[in-house]
Structure 1
């Protein structure tokens, strides 16, 4: 099972067990689980890049959840290296939103040439727009621009996902976002470390989702009580 936990101040607020190995498809059902438990969605979500998909961003946006959710290549974008300054990267090409075209490094317009729809494992439909230049033959920058045997460069852009990523980037690089990112490494990761290595809880002792859920629910209750007792004890020592 893929165990998901939601934490705050290293207390477990919620947990969920899922059959799929990847995290992307677990976020929405886990958010719904939180809603069933507390009759509301969380105000903020702080996660790693495993959850940064268009479907998840849209769900959080529509349900008023402030998403501090990373996406693939977020960390690469923050570095002042070749990835950021490379003018041939699709992300760095100039886009004219009003007339809907991109501009290649040689100044050619990359016009819209088609639309492709894809369906995720959960049934969510995404839309990507294709843009191509008229021709690349004879271009002195061709060898640096793309390596395809095609006679012209074509790119595909998911505009909706691009907008969600821009919002996520602004949040993640804000003062509050940086604070959340620093805090995250000592939140769920630390709790998993305490569960596995401090308490030796490395495998479930039952079979079947209902029994495993019951198994971990009792453990989560005990974990929170133990954490609360330690916090009260430390507070009393501090007050002295």
Structure 2
């Protein structure tokens, strides 16, 4: 039975009942395993969020929600029904009052900032129970559709264009205003003009056949321009470095989803979910606004580092290949098993015979000269801003080629790693473990479209899904007696 810290002297955790429900729960029942794991966790931060007496103790509530998610019950009404209907949830509740859907919703709202910490603790307990080494992590990302209207888009380029046009109109209005009113001190700000016109208490005339006064026209234009200026300024603040957002979920960014049933490349509001898997358990997760995986690797690894998970091997697909990522991995003593973008094409005869491919060129570092395999020398043009990228010109095709020798070295090093015996095994396990985790989350657990709005609520929701996924994975490993299995072996003919 879960024994949470009781921070309320008026709260009796064990309530006398007409029957003791524990008798109906087997000793090896999954609910007892969940209870045993949660008993070892520290809930002090969760209890600080709920300092006063609550209908259901916060630890009991958290346990019930995790069990409900593991059983495919995600809505608050479904969880309430499960609490009324299931003996297992009665066991977790300690036969206390059944929480209503609104009580569950309030709990989730208040516990939003604590879920990730509880997820980290849960993962740590599973690793200790299964005695799992954490040297290899498999990283991948997927896009989750946000709970937002797909036609509520705001584009950064359009906003900048509209704002620029508005500023031109404002300058014209300022010029017309100063000429008409002929003030001693000219006003050069639309906000000052709007304030001045409001103070005049202009009589407004509306209706067919009635002519508006010049002052009223100035006032209406000034009001419209001020409202639009404030709107566009607010849009740009919300956008930040993003190129788009949704009006119904301002933290969602428009992206191309894999589920494109119309095959027209429609953009939908969503989040880029990154997960790191260790021995089939989701060890970490994070939500990003950037639709591409390339720029997510470094901040994601920094977050994993903050969890005190010691990693040696980083395994990822071609979407993560970039010079900054390779540099970061080498500087932080990680072994890169990132598949190069050109890897599959490089196996073809056509690719290998193409003399103009950057990967097939030979670079003389001492003399800073670049050659094709047939001996043709490319003409040096200039260095890039970073000082490491060099631009050469092909005298035959007249094309400019961008060459970064350090990037080529790191890419070849990663290629050699994935072609080693261990690399082949890790590549196969990446396909099984991290892509398998996404398959379960999206297909079995129906995590295709979110039911909450905002980045913080999304992180909370993803955290609950990941805890439930890890618990189900732990049960599956126990049933197969494979708690310690870390790598799936390569199939041999």
**Displacement of 1:41 after TM fit?**
4.9
* TM-aligned CA distance change 1:16 to 1:128, over 3 Å: same
* TM-aligned CA distance change 1:41 to 1:21, over 3 Å: farther
Please name the residue that 1:231 is paired with.
477
1:98 is aligned, of 363, 366, 372, to 366
CA distance in 1, matches of 2:481, 2:433: 20
Please name the residue that 1:10 is paired with.
280
TM-score between the two structures when normalised by the length of structure 2: 0.41
Please name the residue that 2:197 is paired with.
none
Please name the residue that 1:49 is paired with.
318
**Displacement of 1:88 after TM fit?**
3.2
Per-residue CA distance 1:78-113 (angstroms, 9 max, x = gap): x14110122232322333233221234663433433
Per-residue CA distance 1:116-163 (angstroms, 9 max, x = gap): 22xxxxxxx574212346xx4xxxxx4xxx3xxx4xx54220112111
Q: Give SS of 1:15's match.
A: strand
**Contact in 2 for aligned 1:113/1:130 (Cα 8 Å):** yes
CA distance in 2, matches of 1:169, 1:54: 14
Higher strand proportion (structure 1 or 2): 1
Please name the residue that 1:112 is paired with.
380
Higher relative contact order (CA 8 A, sep 6+): 2
CA distance in 2, matches of 1:126, 1:162: 15
TM-score between the two structures when normalised by the length of structure 1: 0.81
Gaps of 5+ in 2: 1-270, 483-493
**Contact in 2 for aligned 1:88/1:105 (Cα 8 Å):** no
Aligned ranges 1:116-195 → 2 under 5 Å: 116-117=384-385, 125=386, 127-132=388-393, 136=395, 142=396, 146=397, 150=398, 154-195=400-441
* TM-aligned CA distance change 1:178 to 1:111, over 3 Å: same
**Contact in 1 for aligned 2:360/2:372 (Cα 8 Å):** no
Please name the residue that 1:121 is paired with.
none
CA distance in 2, matches of 1:186, 1:106: 42
**Contact in 2 for aligned 1:41/1:63 (Cα 8 Å):** no
**Displacement of 1:204 after TM fit?**
2.0
* TM-aligned CA distance change 1:126 to 1:31, over 3 Å: farther
**Contact in 2 for aligned 1:68/1:171 (Cα 8 Å):** yes
CA distance in 2, matches of 1:235, 1:156: 53
Asked if 1:70 corresponds to 2:332, the answer is no
Aligned residue pairs, count: 212
CA distance in 2, matches of 1:14, 1:4: 8
CA distance in 1, matches of 2:374, 2:279: 52
Q: Give SS of 1:74's match.
A: coil
* TM-aligned CA distance change 1:202 to 1:156, over 3 Å: closer
**Displacement of 1:188 after TM fit?**
1.1
